[in-house]
Structure 1
Amino acid sequence: MMMMGVTTSLPYPFQILLVLILSMASVILLGRMLSRPMKTKERSRQLPPGPPGWPILGNLPELIMARPRYKYIHHAMKQLNTEIACFNFAGVHAITINSDEIAREAFKERDVDLADRPHIFFFQTVGDNYKSMISGLYGEQFMKMKRVITTDIMSVKALNMMEATRTMEADNLLAYVHSMYQRCETVDLRELSMTYGYAVTMRMLFGRRNITKDNFSDDGRLGKAEKEHLGAIINTLNCFPSLHPADYLERWFKGWNIDGQEEKVKSNCNIVRSYNNPIIDERVQLWREKGGKAAVEDWIDMFITFKDENGKYLLTPDEIKAQCVEFCIAAFDNPANNMEWTLAEMLKNPEILGKALKELDQVVGKERLVQESDIPNLNYIKACCRETFRIHPSAHFHPPHAARQDTTLGGYFIPRGSHIHICRSQLGKSPKIWKDPLVYKPERHLQGDGISKEITLVETEMRFVSFGTGRRGCIGVKVGTIMMVTQLARFLQAFNWKLDPGFGPLSLEENDGLLMAKVLHLSVEPRLAPNLYPKFRP
């Protein structure tokens, strides 16, 4: 079946649902029309344009049948010739935006109105009934968690305290790659980036690289337990809300495991918690019952010891556990995706790689390794990361917001409870915003000669999406930037990279999830003196 130009198929569970719901549609719709005449004021408030829909179900059948689903959204907006659209998914208004002007309006002028999260299973499960910050509903709990994370966890003082920890894992990364070179092994860049992101996050969160005490490796590879932990984190992240039909059917069929999403989120979150929670329980007991440690050393210590103005512990163990799951999930998609695509684009465009190496040689040289203190001066490297965010985002849509009250966007009425979706892939490739949008050109992000002003990875004007802005903005921008730029800069400084002979020609084709369709496999050769390569420290 073809619908709106997108190849479609209907999963079996939905066949039953559609028959059930459609058989009721006419009666319910007629009853509503007879019992509730539309008020004149409601008729005068115009929603953004949207495709015609079915009774009761609206556009949900088209969404269910579309594969991949994001193409249905993009194709419908193109047919409607609009930069803001309203889709009716079983009574839920899903507002999709691919205009930088309207996106700025949403996250600046209407930030308070649109600061909520949708009431869906993913956020409820990951946040243990909305106890965490990113998944939390807008209100006192959200503000409490944000205050703790902003003032303590992500403070300059805390990040500086953990610099040695991050440097250790940056060293371990080079030791790992160098050992692969010595063994003549091919480098799986995606696996390597995931390993680095995982190791840094575990160090900052729990104060140790390994999630279990007796599972050490001697060369940088993850052990069996770490692989299972990381796998569950990634699988949970892959269930992140992105116009799943199940998100709109929960009001009627919660617990039915529609589209398999509920079971995927629940089972993978349980695996993540099975590794996280024993560490947290042990540390809570140490701090709150046994007098604590000599010093606060990691994020868990900070969460546990944070007190309110009356000297009472501010966070419960359950709140800490929920936030830790969220921290794990938030740490991997951007750095790993950005690293793989950036290096692939550099290999495809040797002149860009040459400029990056020239900057590294001028700023850092070849007598020492890149340090975090070098990041402010690596403007071209950061421009490459920005260009990758623009043309190769890690997701089709920004994490959904929800309208807390009736408001407007782009001159249209936005009802309370609407889900707001910013189309990341459309913003970054829009010819209205960018000249030659499909050309990878880091220079477009430099001001003048590229050294008159420090380049950051944040895009506040919503011309593309790197880290979120506004009340729901990403508060891990600084640590995310550190991880991303340090990894890329050290890779480029320490090794010469080339395609593995068995990889075949380099293709920049993306899969439906926006990852490289073909995982990048590379061969490496050292670029520095042998004494500069660190030894692995488990």
Structure 2
Amino acid sequence: MDNAANALWNSSLHQSSNVSIAFVTTFLRFSITLAVMSFALFYLYKFLFKGSEREMQHRLPPMLIKPWPIVGSLPEMVLNRPTFRWIDELMKNVNSGIACIRFGDVHVIPVTCPEIGREFLRNQDAVFASRPTIMAADFTTKGYLTTALVPMGDQWKKMKKVMVNELLSPNRHRQLQKKRDEEADNLVRYVYNLCMSAGGIVNVRVAAQQYCGNVPRKLLFSRRYFGKGSEDGGPGFEEEEHVSAVFTILGYLYSFCVSDYIPRLRGLDLDGHEKVMKEALRVIGKYHDPIIDERIQQWQNGVKEVKSDVDDLLDSLIYLKDQKGKTMLTADEIKAQITEFMIATVDNPSNAVEWAIAEMLNQPEIFDKATEEIDRVVGRERLVEEDDLHKLNYVKACAREAFRLHPIAPFNVPHVSLEDTTVAGYFIPKGSHVLLSRTSLGRNPKVWEEPLKFKPERHLKEDGASLTLTESDLRFISFSTGMRGCKGILLGTTMTVMVFARLLQCFSWSIPPANGPTIDLTEAKENLFLAKPLVAVAKPRLPAHVYPVNLP
């Protein structure tokens, strides 16, 4: 019995020993694996974020959210769509007017303070004069061949010269006035026909976007329609599809795509953004490319061969020669620049006018002041012309107020730092994306009294000097400023004030009875448009003979 018991005891000890050894072995293996993985992740982190030690020695702007290793705050970005509203909400808890959020290895710097904004775009303009290399901009510009959306470099300098000297110069602006006049007349004809045939029910968004799509089409291609258009002067299917594609591109251009911050993920289309962008650009190409290709062929074949044959901006781009007399721009450069020109022209004026009229419908006394000014300056026996616009200060004040309170986009086009620097006492690493918040600047209670109220009088000057739509002090953003500022301020201002003044002069506006006593001014969730397109009742307010009837 004793021997059996000893044997059993020894066997138990042996098994227990084996179990202990196995446990220790497993534990050691797990510990070694964990240690190796930790060291690997640490050095991977150090490799991906080469500036981490540098950043630890400097003070970054306040972090909006603690970043994860490697991916930063990308998980939160994806979970909180639309991202711009999430960032704006986080910024409400920051008193500094500047903050930081890391997506992947990119430091994104939101700014809500005008003074700090001026440090970026005035005091250190040259340091922040580049653009990010992102999927949507890459696709839109055919590999960064244009002006506004491309990083700093020789291509930008080349195309900037083309834009400033050939497409947007004051001389070219004067040469193309007749084309703009035709589209202003067509706008009036379209709305007037709706008054006569549709009981005056007008979708203001469609009318404004139609005008803002027609003007660049006329300037670029000498045509109003890609198809037959509508007999009443409105858009046909082709124009509706074209403008819709343009606004789709604008909506996705800087929409916080995952692959913009981890470029190796491009092609996987984790957000679905690439598919949408490719389809929108396919539609743009369907309408633009045949016209461009045919016109290039005409110049190559000698059908167009003298300076007098330069009828529009497309001709100007094709006709350009370098110092050796060779064609300056490739077909792809022309196509990409025309697409960029189109998307830069359509959105701002149409959005400002829709919001302004919506606000004014809720405050009829503002309508009265605006129309009284137009009647005093222009009268009722002719239409507003471009030469009248500089005298319409109250109308421009209404437009400025729409830009302030209802910007077209939540942020300006991102500026990228070309080197490490310090702004407002904070370290800004090289490669950071700086985002000036259009909404927070324009609605800043430290800058504007009653910031959420539509109040045009706040922009009027005591000396009566002519107003502009620009805001150099960045208290709001109408047109961007600095080296990468909008080069089309003259065209953008003319289009905005013209469409606004014509709609105010030619028609009285009222709220449809079915809509209730006021216009619902709720913003859409996914963007800054009115949640519902503005529909209003228009009635002619000028003598019948003033309205254009037969137009080319």
**Residue 486, structure 1, aligned to residue 498, structure 2:** yes
Sort the Cα spacing of 1:26 and 1:256 in 2 relative to 1 into closer, same or farther, 3 A: farther
Q: CA deviation digits over 1:110-151, x for unaligned, max 9?
A: 111111111110111000000011121211100110101101
Aligned counterparts of 1:26 and 1:436: Cα–Cα separation in 2: 53
Which residue identity is paired with 1:509? T
Aligned counterparts of 1:145 and 1:46: Cα–Cα separation in 2: 37
After TM superposition, list the pairs within 5 Å mapping 1:310-389 onto structure 2: 310-389=324-403
After TM superposition, list the pairs within 5 Å mapping 1:249-328 onto structure 2: 249=262, 251-292=263-304, 294-328=308-342
After TM superposition, list the pairs within 5 Å mapping 1:452-491 onto structure 2: 453-491=465-503
TM-fit CA distance, 1:34: 8.1
Aligned counterparts of 1:34 and 1:187: Cα–Cα separation in 2: 59
Instruction: Tell me the SS of whatever aligns to 1:117.
Output: coil
Q: 1:417 aligns with which of 431, 446, 466?
A: 431
**Residue 245, structure 1, aligned to residue 289, structure 2:** no
TM-fit CA distance, 1:55: 1.6
Which residue identity is paired with 1:79? N
Aligned counterparts of 1:530 and 1:339: Cα–Cα separation in 2: 24
**Residue 226, structure 1, aligned to residue 239, structure 2:** yes
Q: Alignment identity in percent? A: 41
- Determine if contact 1:97/1:421 at 8 Å carries over to the other structure: yes
Which stretch shows the higher mean deviation, 287-296 or 520-529? Answer: 287-296
Aligned counterparts of 1:95 and 1:484: Cα–Cα separation in 2: 30
TM-fit CA distance, 1:100: 0.3
Q: 2:215 aligns with which of 185, 191, 200?
A: 200
Aligned counterparts of 1:42 and 1:510: Cα–Cα separation in 2: 38
Aligned counterparts of 1:454 and 1:244: Cα–Cα separation in 2: 42
- Determine if contact 1:220/1:536 at 8 Å carries over to the other structure: no
Aligned counterparts of 1:320 and 1:27: Cα–Cα separation in 2: 51
- Determine if contact 1:189/1:520 at 8 Å carries over to the other structure: yes
Which stretch shows the higher mean deviation, 51-60 or 455-464? Answer: 51-60
Aligned counterparts of 2:480 and 2:548: Cα–Cα separation in 1: 35
TM-fit CA distance, 1:185: 4.6
Residue ranges of structure 2 left out of the alignment (5+ in a row): 1-35
Partner in structure 1 of residue 126 of structure 2:
112
Aligned counterparts of 1:349 and 1:123: Cα–Cα separation in 2: 40
Aligned counterparts of 1:80 and 1:533: Cα–Cα separation in 2: 53
TM-fit CA distance, 1:536: 4.3
Which residue identity is paired with 1:188? N
Aligned counterparts of 1:37 and 1:455: Cα–Cα separation in 2: 48
- Determine if contact 2:46/2:52 at 8 Å carries over to the other structure: no
Aligned counterparts of 1:242 and 1:220: Cα–Cα separation in 2: 34
- Determine if contact 2:200/2:539 at 8 Å carries over to the other structure: no
Sort the Cα spacing of 1:26 and 1:326 in 2 relative to 1 into closer, same or farther, 3 A: farther
Q: CA deviation digits over 1:404-433, x for unaligned, max 9?
A: 221222121111111111111000010111
Instruction: Tell me the SS of whatever aligns to 1:496.
Output: strand
Aligned counterparts of 1:81 and 1:28: Cα–Cα separation in 2: 38
TM-fit CA distance, 1:332: 1.5
Partner in structure 2 of residue 179 of structure 1:
193
Q: CA deviation digits over 1:280-308, x for unaligned, max 9?
A: 11111112332416521111011111122
After TM superposition, list the pairs within 5 Å mapping 1:45-64 onto structure 2: 45-50=58-63, 51-64=65-78
Aligned counterparts of 2:215 and 2:294: Cα–Cα separation in 1: 21
Q: 1:507 aligns with which of 511, 515, 520?
A: 520
After TM superposition, list the pairs within 5 Å mapping 1:380-459 onto structure 2: 380-449=394-463, 451=464, 453-459=465-471
Normalising by structure 1, we get a TM-score of: 0.91
Aligned residues: 510
Q: 2:532 aligns with which of 484, 495, 518?
A: 518
Instruction: Tell me the SS of whatever aligns to 1:232.
Output: helix
Aligned counterparts of 2:536 and 2:355: Cα–Cα separation in 1: 13
- Determine if contact 1:25/1:56 at 8 Å carries over to the other structure: no
